[in-house]
Amino acid sequence: MLSFLSVFAQEGTQSLFRQSGKIYVVVAVLSIIMAGIILFLIRLDMKIKKLEDSKK
Amino acid sequence: MKGLWWKFLGAILVMYAIIGGLLMDAPTTLGQLDETIRNLFYHVPMWFSMITLLLVAFIYNILYLNKGDRKYFIRADSLIKVCFVFGILGILTGATWAKFTWGSWWTKDPKLNGAAVGMLIYGAYLILGNSIEDRVHRAKTLSIYSIFVYPIFIVLILVMPKMVDFSAHPGAGDTQGFTVYDLNNNLRKVFYPAVLGWILLANWIASLYWRYKILKEKEDEENINSEHVDA
């Protein structure tokens, strides 16, 4: 996965989209949000599992 | 931990799609689309997720009618309800994309209007469900409705758009498939993982919802039984 990303990064050094380097900040923010949502889903999954086990 | 791998796979793929989708090199030959082509990795998977959720619901509805196990109905019902989340997100993201590319929130695009009609058809599912009191009767009627409606939904959003002249969507009407623009294969490298990741994530969310529903129904039954004992 990391090698994929570095391929993208190398190819795009000329691109206006990434010229200022600020887009990485956006990538970081979006990653944090998504990671948070996924962690929340994992916790929810575990809680439901616990309840299911206690009901049996 | 068994049976968890697909949830983690979904999470990893969605993460990859967000990061890769922003950092990849977009094709420079897209005209008015330009960098917004990145929306391909975020807007389109919403629809693929919705279609897949509805397909899984369709299968569970058939299983329910065949085997009569209520668990299958609850799963199908939950899947259909979760698909609204993805459908609404799909419409909102599509409208945003259209506004800044074609200058209008809503266009006369057959795919867009087909999707809207499809959502209304499934909206009728909710109303139908609320109008039937008896549990078994309700489950059977809704299952039959869902089995009937799924092929119509597919025709509306996948077949009809191919039969008209104008569309903003690739591969529909007078437009070409997106693979034509994908000269350096970068779009594909992110697009396919994004679609698979979101489909898995959507199914995960739906499975959480139906597990909650099954627990809730068990609890309700226990409450009813204990009331009978008290009386």
A14 vs B: CB within 8 A:
no
- List pLDDT tens digits, range B160-219: 887 777 777 876 666 666 666 666 677 888 889 999 999 999 999 999 999 999 999 988
Q: Look at residue A13 in the predicted model and tell me its pLDDT.
A: 44
Confidence of residue B30 (pLDDT cuts 50, 70, 90): confident
The secondary structure element, H or E, covering residue B187 is helix B186-230
Q: Which of B7, B15, B208 has the CB atom closest to A34's CB atom?
A: B15
Write down the pTM of the prediction.
0.85
- List pLDDT tens digits, range B160-177: 887 777 777 876 666 666
Phi, psi of B107 (to 5 degrees): -115, 175
Contact yes or no for B23/A18 (Cβ under 8 A)? yes
CB contact under 8 A, A27 and B186: no
